[in-house]
Amino acid sequence: MVDVFEHAIEGIITAFREERNMKCHTVATVGMSFLGWFTGISAVEWALLVLCFGLVIGAEMVNTAIERTVDLAMPDRHPLAKAAKDVAAGAVLIAAMTSVVVGGIIFLPRLAIICHSVLF
């Protein structure tokens, strides 16, 4: 059982070290966490944000695994290899866009109130 966790943690570390997009997702996660703290979101809103963080980072890791597997199996260009990579990238895009919508639903009303109180 320990080996399973060791391999999983090694995979997480590898993804964060080697994938540029993971760094971008990490910055976004930290930024949204700060915004959540600053605006005082509810426990349910925190739960939704954490689910979004996990969804996007998990999708990015699956995308990375698919890309590396395809590259290993098919070093030359092939339409099926391209399709596999494109579909995996599309999954990340859907996860990210869903997270943007959830973030908008949570934060836009709060930010509008803050802006209104500052401006008026």
Residues placed in the known binding site:
19, 60, 67, 85-86
CB atoms within 10 A of CB 4: 8
18 is catalytic: no
CB 66 within 8 A of CB 84: yes
Q: Nearest to residue 46, comparing CAs of 32, 27, 26?
A: 32
Residues making up the binding site for ATP:
19, 67, 85-86
Active-site option among 6, 18, 45, 60? 60
**Residues designated as active site:** 60
